[in-house]
Chains A and B, each alone.
Chain A
């Protein structure tokens, strides 16, 4: 899932303060799970902004709403007529949602209330960790299911580097050395011989944006 964290309140206030009618628009999927931008967080943010406006003596109408997803037009189309009555949409969705809504809404600005971070796993409630970088060219079958692109600080294909330190990374003792994890995992799988093979330079062209693809079967049906 996509993770993100709410921007500092002052930054959000500076985006909002010059508008007259603002909608804080939440997304109830990924960013709701990380408590950054769901309907609940949108409501809380709207309340805080109303109080700030009243404190500063500025008249702004601030409301909130939320839909299940901002990354598919079907979800926000039903409320489009309503949201077009606002001067500003302060979206608490991820950057994907902000982009897509901006493209669809016409001449109303859509501003981000959160900083979109990575797509991550949820090992424990309230904890998010990056395990895959979406590089477009997966090598997990060669590395025991542990991604060196996302989990090694240097994204080394043939590690570890000299900075590995008793299983930790030199960047931080809290980061486990991905290549130590890979070694341990390959040992368990009895596949250590695979580690002797050199992984060749990666085709990074598949990791460069803008990326898009179409489902072939659906394309055939459309024909």
Chain B
């Protein structure tokens, strides 16, 4: 491949987002969508076993992860959630 072609392809490539600096002590807000029949039951069991998990994780129970809609994930991000975790 000659250089001219290479540089055009580079120009076409989507720009890569620069990593943001993380402030000290920052914790991400994580939202977990969990299936009632498996992942949520597992979280429940963890509770029964007195296992703790980070308080910056919030769980939303779904009847099935098949119920998860794209808009739920987008709404979460719009409202400031940093990461969405889907388990099912």
A residues in contact (CB < 8 Å) with B: 40, 43-44, 47-48, 50-51
Contact = CB atoms under 8 A, between A and B. Distances in A.
Contact of B71 (A44, A50, A51): A44
A47 B74 CA distance: 7
A44 B74 CA distance: 7
A60 to B, nearest CB: 14
The majority secondary structure among interface residues of chain A is helix
B77 A51 contact: yes
A56 B34 CA distance: 33
Nearest to B75: A47
Interface in B60-88: 69-71, 74-75, 77-78
B80 to A, nearest CB: 10
B70 A50 contact: no
A51 B69 CA distance: 18
A104 B69 CA distance: 34
A50 B69 CA distance: 18
Nearest to B74: A47
Most buried by A among B74, B75, B77: B74
Contacts of B78: 47, 50-51
B71 A43 contact: yes
B48 to A, nearest CB: 37
A40 B69 CA distance: 10
Contacts of A44: 70-71, 74
A50 B80 CA distance: 13
Contacts of B71: 40, 43-44, 47
A12 to B, nearest CB: 15
